[in-house]
A and B are shown apart, each in its own frame.
Chain A
Amino acid sequence: MKKLICFSLLFVLIVLPLLVACAKPAPAPAPKPTPAPAPPPVPTPPPPPPFPEETITWIVPHGAGGFDTYSRAIAKVMPKYLPKKVDIIIKNVPAAGGRTGTADIYRSKPDGYTIGILNIPGHIVSQLIMPVEYDLAKMEYLGLCSTINYNLWVAKNSPFRSLSDLQQAKKPLRSPSYGFGQTGMLVATITLEATRIPYTFVTGYTAAPEIALSVIKGDVDILIESDVVVLMPYYKTGDLRPIAVISEGASQLFPDIPTMKKLGYPELAELGGYRIIAAPPGTPKERVKILEEALIKAMQDAETQEWSKKVEMPLVIAKGEEAKGIVLKQTQLFAKYTEMLKAAQKKLEK
């Protein structure tokens, strides 16, 4: 009995402090951010409190992938343009399809030491159709770093060669997707409904290469996806053929392929994704400005530009104001589609 008491006491004495210490990021062998700095002094005439003084955390509400890769590349260069060259470290929060991470960004202390990257319109749609713990309209926007363009693909030996072929298909065409709520699936639903192609979804895939493989194998018939970077090797080997370009932004990549706009569906040209960087609502304007400037300069930096060309991941740069405009426009756009998406989901659940 005595041993049990001793053991319990020792355990509590050791574990509790460790847990408290770990309540800030875990004790892993990587550099981790320190807690928030002292609060700024009472508003008196200049100079404003120095910012930044300590490491900044950049939250990525995803695991490895486009968002993560862009974030890491930019965060590596950004400290160069901050007054004190503090480190910026990436924190991945992939839970709940990105909603937890986005909520984390929204709820973080608005002192400029936490920023994050947002999946637009993915999280807009989440906000529109279910209760979430963030309001995208209230975030402080720092800028846009890249866009996600969608195309419609088929396999090399597919019997379908054009949009009208697809529209005349006898059986519903199988379209692969990561799952409900994912942006790709939303864009696919809207596109397929608008062009009146008979379809059914095959869900549960977890990565773009898996989906590409599935198309090549013939398990599915068409593919509406972005991630051109991952799909390009399949395009080069001829395994996958684009039939139509959906997002306007991708038209230069495939100049011989008709765009949805040309095919008679101009409203689809607005569909696409945006990787936008933001800070929690209430972050002081001067700090937002410092971060925004550093962000834009980091993206224009020669090192980042070179990386972007080398890995074929284009940077589309825009400032905070423009980014905010995009968010608001996309919110209006998808609000229109909410009913249609809900109806489509009901149809699929049968």
Chain B
Amino acid sequence: MFEAFCQALALLFRPDVLGLAALGTLIGLVFGVLPGLGGIIAVAVLLPFTYGMEPTTAMLFLCAVMGAVPFGGSVSAILINTPGTAQNICTTFDGFPMARRGEASRALGISATASGLGALFGLVVLVMLIPVVRQVVLLIGPPEIFMLILMGMVTIALAARGNLVKGLCAGGLGMLISFIGFSPVFGVLRFNFGSEYLWDGVQLIPVVIGLFGITELINYAVRGGTIAAERAAAGGSMVEGVKDVFRHKLCFLRSSAIGTIVGIIPGIGGTVATFLSYVIAMQTSKHPETYGKGNPEGVVAAESANNAKDGGSVLPTVGFGVPGSAEMVVLLGAFMLHGIFPGPTMIKEHLDIVFAIIVGFLISNILASTLGLLAANSLAGLTRINTSYIAFGVAVLCFVGAFTMRENIWDVVMALLLGFFGYGMVRLGFPTVNFTTGYILGILAELYFSQSLMISYGSYAIFFTRPISLTFFVLTLFILVYSFRRGRGSEKG
């Protein structure tokens, strides 16, 4: 295995491959920054260009693109409160308030560092688990995934500090919205009000762009001024951000671990990884009420998870051909195009490809994070410009981004509607965190719950007789109890 790794590294010594890696990183960054685009589209668009390349080079290139996306997305999340991709939603919760405080450089510094180190964590775990990939992947099934999602939902319900009822309402509404559309599980069309557009449900991109980007646009108009409401305090620099990741070592390690585990689990990816990581970080922190107001730890939690998941998601993808995340689905398509068939024999027959993938992620994270650190201060300058000048740039990005994914104008309309809805929610004190979590996890929870029951012929025992599923359940109970005891110690939670 070591020789395979060295072989893949040696690829980088070829100037054309290095050039491709750098190009891929840049492309990944751009696709990440632009809301509505992301790793999936980037790889899908670039796939035909890899036709003539050798498989190892092609995979290195495509993974270089994918590796840079999470960091790219965090840039727009922090600066304009619009996550570049869905896995950057949690970055907005604390990254943007930091920007408002004039600490955008610091937030970007955290993101660059946490992203790079988080990716490294995920890749190291990946390499360690390669020999046991089969056993690992066979342990995970619908009941385990459901329990993990349940954990996420319970913790998010508890996260509604201050107003439990509003938080639960927002979460519930988010879940309802996620159920709209045709359900292949049950074969029925739900809540589409007769519209063909809603056959596929309310799509993620309009939700992300509408609820975050457009809501923010409305804020610009109402509030005026600059994004950064205050001048940076002395502690607002990029270097401070780098130090933050080391200050919050435990949070970083835990979040990276969560990201990697969620990545390994097929069927759930970056979005769930970041939400779980963020929410668990919040629940276990000494000052949970500071989350969502610009606590650097929040950014650490979000950004380490979404990069760590990349390493984790490669494991089931190459080990079994089961995609560990949505981006891996496209990578599988890339494999097939180059005549590589992922499956139980892939690791034995194509170890060189596996390491080309690892090296691709590695190099792009190093490059992207370095670039990010260098550019942090200049990028942060954006927050000091009056919003009326950048507003239409942001608006263009939002509207075009909402349209681009499916070339459907109704996605833009949906984003607009959700933008107004989101603004109303925020003004009335309904947390968008809960709504978004409900939206993302609702339909997934239903899918895995139903599948589990179909497998068990309708018996609920399946959740408690499988060891990993039971473990997750016990952990969830633990978090619940811990939270309530906390709540009784201080004010009513």
B308 CB to closest chain A CB (Å) equals: 22
A204 x B404 contact (CB < 8 A): no
Q: Which residue of A lies closest to B224 (CB)?
A: A3
**Distance between Cα atoms of A217 and B409 in the complex (Å):** 43
Looking at A97, A200, A203, the one whose CB has the most chain B CB atoms below 10 A away is: A203
B184 x A204 contact (CB < 8 A): yes
A26 x B388 contact (CB < 8 A): no
B400 x A230 contact (CB < 8 A): no
Looking at B224, B344, B406, B450, the one whose CB has the most chain A CB atoms below 10 A away is: B344
Task: Kindly list chain B residues whose C-beta atoms are within 8 Å of the C-beta of A181.
Answer: 184, 187
User: B185 within 8 Å of A by Cβ?
Assistant: yes
B443-461: which have CB < 8 Å to A?
Answer: 447, 450-451, 454-455, 457
* Residues A26 and B343 in contact in the complex (CB < 8 Å), given A72-B48, A201-B454: no
User: B288 within 8 Å of A by Cβ?
Assistant: no
A202 x B45 contact (CB < 8 A): no
Q: Which residue of A lies closest to B222 (CB)?
A: A4
**Distance between Cα atoms of A219 and B455 in the complex (Å):** 6
B182 x A96 contact (CB < 8 A): yes
**Distance between Cα atoms of A182 and B199 in the complex (Å):** 16
Task: Kindly list chain A residues whose C-beta atoms are within 8 Å of the C-beta of B119.
Answer: none
User: A81 within 8 Å of B by Cβ?
Assistant: no
User: A95 within 8 Å of B by Cβ?
Assistant: yes
A199 CB to closest chain B CB (Å) equals: 12
Query: CB-defined interface of B305-334 with A at 8 Å, one 1/0 digit per residue?
Result: 000000000000000111100000110110
A207 x B392 contact (CB < 8 A): no
Q: How many residues of B contact A (CB 8 A)?
A: 63
Task: Kindly list chain A residues whose C-beta atoms are within 8 Å of the C-beta of B45.
Answer: 28-30
A197 CB to closest chain B CB (Å) equals: 16
Task: Kindly list chain A residues whose C-beta atoms are within 8 Å of the C-beta of B391.
Answer: 7, 11
Task: Kindly list chain A residues whose C-beta atoms are within 8 Å of the C-beta of B385.
Answer: none
* Residues A210 and B266 in contact in the complex (CB < 8 Å), given A171-B457, A233-B341, A349-B187: yes
User: A38 within 8 Å of B by Cβ?
Assistant: no
Q: Can you offer 21 A-B residue contacts whose CB atoms are under 8 A?
A: A18-B396, A19-B400, A27-B404, A63-B329, A65-B333, A72-B337, A76-B51, A97-B184, A179-B183, A179-B185, A180-B187, A207-B323, A209-B322, A213-B137, A230-B343, A232-B341, A233-B321, A237-B344, A239-B344, A311-B341, A312-B341
**From DSSP, what is the main secondary structure of chain B's interface residues?**
helix
Task: Kindly list chain B residues whose C-beta atoms are within 8 Å of the C-beta of A311.
Answer: 336, 339, 341
User: B470 within 8 Å of A by Cβ?
Assistant: no
* Residues A96 and B200 in contact in the complex (CB < 8 Å), given A179-B187, A230-B341: yes
User: A285 within 8 Å of B by Cβ?
Assistant: no
A209 x B185 contact (CB < 8 A): no
* Residues A204 and B322 in contact in the complex (CB < 8 Å), given A11-B395, A64-B329, A64-B332: no
B455 touches which of A182, A212, A220, A310 (Cβ 8 Å): A220
Q: Which residue of B lies closest to A171 (CB)?
A: B457
**Distance between Cα atoms of A7 and B346 in the complex (Å):** 55
**Distance between Cα atoms of A153 and B476 in the complex (Å):** 38
**From DSSP, what is the main secondary structure of chain A's interface residues?**
helix
B41 x A28 contact (CB < 8 A): yes
* Residues A18 and B392 in contact in the complex (CB < 8 Å), given A28-B45, A219-B142, A349-B187: no
A7 touches which of B187, B392, B407, B454 (Cβ 8 Å): B392
Q: Which residue of B lies closest to A91 (CB)?
A: B407
A229 x B341 contact (CB < 8 A): yes
Task: Kindly list chain B residues whose C-beta atoms are within 8 Å of the C-beta of A22.
Answer: 400, 403-404, 407
Known: A29-B27, A30-B45, A232-B343. 13 other contacts (CB 8 A): A15-B395, A15-B400, A19-B409, A28-B404, A30-B48, A63-B329, A64-B336, A69-B333, A72-B48, A179-B185, A200-B454, A210-B267, A213-B320
Task: Kindly list chain A residues whose C-beta atoms are within 8 Å of the C-beta of B392.
Answer: 7, 10-11, 14-15
A126-180: which have CB < 8 Å to B?
Answer: 171-172, 174, 178-180
B343 x A202 contact (CB < 8 A): no
**Distance between Cα atoms of A3 and B49 in the complex (Å):** 45
User: B493 within 8 Å of A by Cβ?
Assistant: no
B400 x A204 contact (CB < 8 A): no
* Residues A209 and B343 in contact in the complex (CB < 8 Å), given A69-B333, A179-B185: yes
B396 x A14 contact (CB < 8 A): yes
* Residues A26 and B403 in contact in the complex (CB < 8 Å), given A14-B396, A179-B185, A209-B343: yes
B149 CB to closest chain A CB (Å) equals: 14
**Distance between Cα atoms of A254 and B48 in the complex (Å):** 34
**Distance between Cα atoms of A234 and B200 in the complex (Å):** 33
**Distance between Cα atoms of A75 and B457 in the complex (Å):** 46
4 closest residue pairs by CB, A with B = A179-B184, A180-B187, A64-B333, A233-B343
Task: Kindly list chain A residues whose C-beta atoms are within 8 Å of the C-beta of B41.
Answer: 28
